[in-house]
Structure 1
């Protein structure tokens, strides 16, 4: 989560948010009460009370091995995505694109030093990724993360990524130094798109652009795609970037209504 409630104002709420974050980062692996309490730095008794409240609300679920996220989280996420029109347009545009319909594409937003994946279009890519809807990955090594970070000033990059823990290594090619990250973001600004060569998955290249927001109050969105490095050439990269830009234009155009909505409007006028 990008922000947490103040522990002084609402300690129980702050702990509840932290528990949801911990279970989300666990990627489906159960966490015991002991582990959760240790991560919170709280007593097991008070942690149990918070977990019980979350369980009553359906936000978490208790199993024999520990706690996992509950079905209510998915329902809330679905409600958010339903109101997030660019997500619907992303799926529609990827499916209708002659270039991207067979590729693996992602939609993500920035959350502190991580990116949150809002949508993924699988296509027929000859590889499998673990990043799916709701996944959080380090922004420092992902193409979508670099595209979004490039819009921030260097002073903000230095503040967010001051800790080495915010710059983890997934592969031998992952950028882990602050200077390396700054240089990579500078290259991204100069090119107009980000480029990842095997920093998250060996042998896999990723690239991304930022979708122009419809209004100043909207959160920037990164639109990316992934291909095998062995298949990435200048021609392929240019073709895919052009296709991503077209999807981005459709997502950022407020006149892009769903076909069923357009038909309804025409019928109403008739």
Structure 2
């Protein structure tokens, strides 16, 4: 049995960590008194901590007390999936970089934004607004459009409801034009950005799909408009995305067999 790390419960964060670590895989509901015994946190303080954790959806209330929420499970799965995704994607991203010598990105969907989880570029890389862990709107990035094009329609409605803020003179702010771009991306398997998130930057992206054709992530190549022609690299970006998807699917199949 793995022993959980000891935490200093004098801080609020320490108390929250102690509560999370107090649960076992077999727990379906743990009462206040038992959590107090496991954590050593005084009853009054513990009650306030538990109420706060329920409010932010780290815990659920049950008839027997408290249990870890589905949100905690999703966070754990997200961390696991992203580590595996980056591991699988890196060789394909490196190949894209060797073919283009431009900046290569890997991004995932979170809410109505792209989160960049990996980036490869050399001394010639374009000055782009992306960084690992950074976020950008879906509607004005090639990765975002690649993800949005194959996502459920309600996501696009959420994006439109939030508004298409103009980031550059070429940002698409007309809902009808964005819909047409997304329809085209869904048909061709690639999406483009033409100086829509930053002046001077153009990009081509393709989605990484699961076996049910749902987007897991997207990969892109970005370069300066002065030398990079994104349409010329659409095929290799699409092939890289398909390679990542195929490798992930094979890994998942092997895990299921075991």
**SS of corresponding position for 1:254:** helix
CA distance 1:14–1:110, shift in 2 (3 Å): farther
Any residues of structure 2 matched to 1:34-53 within 5 Å, and which?
none
Cα shift readout 1:30-59 (whole Å, capped 9, x = no counterpart):
xxxxxxxxxxxxxxxxxxxxxxxxxxxxxx
- Displacement of 1:105: 0.8
In 2, Cα distance between the equivalents of 1:84 and 1:218? 19
1:207 to 2:204 alignment: yes
Name the residue aligned to 2:190: 193
Q: Stretches of 4+ moved more than 6 A in 1?
A: 255-258
- Displacement of 1:126: 4.2
- Displacement of 1:154: 4.2
1:231 to 2:227 alignment: yes
1:171 to 2:164 alignment: no
Q: Alignment RMSD, CA only?
A: 3.4
CA distance 1:249–1:219, shift in 2 (3 Å): closer
In 1, Cα distance between the equivalents of 2:83 and 2:155? 27
Indicate which of 217, 220, 235 corresponds to 1:242: 235
Cα shift readout 1:131-167 (whole Å, capped 9, x = no counterpart):
1111110001010000111113545412442132xx2
Question: Gaps spanning 5+ residues in structure 1: where?
Answer: 1-8, 18-75, 259-270
- Single out whichever of 142-151 and 152-161 deviates more from structure 2: 152-161
1:85 to 2:78 alignment: no
Name the residue aligned to 2:139: 140
- Displacement of 1:106: 0.7
Cα shift readout 1:58-115 (whole Å, capped 9, x = no counterpart):
xxxxxxxxxxxxxxxxxx99x9378632212322223245304x22011111112111
In 2, Cα distance between the equivalents of 1:106 and 1:211? 12
Residue pair 1:211, 1:249 contacting (<8 A) in 2 also? yes
In 2, Cα distance between the equivalents of 1:256 and 1:152? 19
Question: Gaps spanning 5+ residues in structure 2: where?
Answer: 1-49, 59-74, 252-258
1:129 to 2:123 alignment: no
TM-score of the superposition, structure 1-length normalised?
0.57
- Displacement of 1:242: 2.7
Aligned residue-pair number: 184
In 2, Cα distance between the equivalents of 1:16 and 1:131? 30
Residue pair 1:250, 1:256 contacting (<8 A) in 2 also? no
In 1, Cα distance between the equivalents of 2:108 and 2:191? 15
CA distance 1:177–1:90, shift in 2 (3 Å): same
Residue pair 2:202, 2:224 contacting (<8 A) in 1 also? yes
In 2, Cα distance between the equivalents of 1:123 and 1:14? 45
- Displacement of 1:193: 0.9
TM-score of the superposition, structure 2-length normalised?
0.60
Indicate which of 243, 246, 257 corresponds to 1:253: 246
